[in-house]
Each structure stands twice: as structure tokens, then as C-alpha cells.
Amino acid sequence: MEKLKKEVGKKAAEYVESGMIVGLGTGSTAAFFVEELGRRIKEEGLKVIGVTTSHATSAQAKALGIPLKSIDEVSHVDLTVDGADEIDHQLNGIKGGGAALLMEKIVATYSKDYIWIVDEGKLSTHLGSFKVPVEVIPYGSEQLFRQFKEVGYAPTWRMSTSGEKVVTDMQHYIIDLHIDKIEDPATLAHELDCTVGVVEHGLFNNMVKKVIVAGTDGVRIIE
Ligand code: 5RP
């Protein structure tokens, strides 16, 4: 699995050219992309500016010597490369397994080009086998949790290994929805977008144009 993740991370780095402002995703697959970018900067003299999608990715990029700016310090992002948790045939996806969905969606929104890098196990006919993460403001979040339960979304709090509610980089909680089969991702996204107290959700519908997929028989591109 690590080998597959590394392959797609390296492949995605081939799309980066000198002068670009590059969005750096979060997670174990995106980390291989960031690593390869760091190598190209050091060994090939590639000149880029990175815009990170989490504190964890910022720490990795800094350690690799990748120059960074925040999303508010750049006019645009040329290309963002990120992982994903589940992707359907229309290239709608679920993200946020690493609790970074809010920053990931903001950076992706301002990116001219957006690529996901995944292993084949993330591809699915219908979204929903992966839980839908919902980032919520702590104030009123118990009410929201109850509301999600009432409509049958089987919510769970995202917990840390030490048994605390996970607090995101932007100081919110995560409620994971277990829906099993999402018949209409656009309708669910709209419903969550309109729910008071929800900051962002992990449905990334119609945002990505290219997915680099690693399988046992090699790397392929879905567009
Ligand atoms: C973090 C994410 C990640 O990109 C997603 O969870 C995939 O991670 P990994 O590559 O480790 O499977 O959305 O919020």
C-alpha cells in the first residue's frame, strides 16, 4: 500500500512546474507528493510556493524546505494535489478522514487545477461506505448531533486516541455521518451547507477533474 501511495505521489509531482503556486494536501498519500516536491526543489532547483491544507502538512513542508504562503497571501493557486477517502464514477468524493476538510476545501476552491491521488480501494459506485465528516462549531454541536441522529444519519463524534473530541486545526469538532449509500450527493451537500452550525462537510462534489489511481497493475488516470 505504501508503495502504491508513493507511486501516485511521485506521478502527481510531475504536473508541477517552476513558478507555480501549489496547494499541498493532507494525509498519508499527499505526504508522498509533498516529499517528492521537496526532493525536486532540492535536487532539480524547482521553484514553487506551497499553500498547505493543515498544520501537519505545514510542518512537513517546512522541514523539507518548501517555501510557504497562506491562502490569503496568494492571488490564486495553480494546482492542488490531495488524497481522498472515497470517489464515485462522477468524480464526486468524500474527504476529511484526516480532519483537514475545511482547509482542504478552501484551498481547492481557489485552485485552477485540482488532482486527487488515491489507491484503487478508494473507488466506489456510490458514495457512503466512508463516513461523511461534518466540521461543526462547538457551540450548539450537541443539538446538531441530536438532529443528525433524528434524521437517521447515525452520527458519531470524531474522537482522539486519548478519548477527547478531536479539535480541528480551525478549532472545530467533527461529527461523522454513517449513511451507507448516498443516493444524491448534491442534495446532501446542499442540506449540510444550509444547516446552522455546520462550518463545512467532506462532500467534494464536482470539484476534481483528474484522479491518479494506483493499482497492482500500475498507475492510471481518470478524467
Ligand atoms: C484529510 C483527507 C485525506 O486526504 C484523506 O483522508 C486521504 O488520506 P490518506 O491518503 O491518508 O488515505 O481528506 O482530511
Instruction: Find out whether 25 is annotated in a ligand binding site.
Output: no
Query: pTM of the full predicted structure?
Result: 0.96
Question: In the predicted model, what is the mean pLDDT of the chain?
Answer: 97
Rounded Cα gap, residues 104 and 108, in angstroms: 6
The protein residue whose alpha carbon is closest to atom 5 in ligand 1 is 84
SS3 at position 156: strand
pLDDT at res. 1: 81
Percentage of the chain with pLDDT > 90? 97
Residues with CB under 6 A from ligand 1: 25-30, 82-85, 95-101, 104
pLDDT at 216 over 90: no
**Residue 202 among known ligand-binding residues:** no
In the residue annotation, 104 being an active-site residue is answered as yes
Residue 46, phi then psi, degrees to nearest 5: -60, 135
∠ Cα 76 83 18 (to 5°): 40
125 known ligand binder: no
Give distance in angstroms: CA of 100 to centre of ligand 1: 8
pLDDT score at 12 = 98
DSSP E strands, 66-141? 77-82, 86-87, 93-94, 111-119, 132-136
Return the axis-axis angle of helices 2-13 and 28-44, rounded to nearest 10°: 50
Instruction: State pLDDT tens for residues 14-27.
Output: 999 999 999 999 99
ipTM of the complex: 0.98
Residue 125 grid coordinates: 459506485
Instruction: Map residue 2 onto helix, strand or coil.
Output: helix
Q: Which of 104, 135, 142, 150 is catalytic?
A: 104
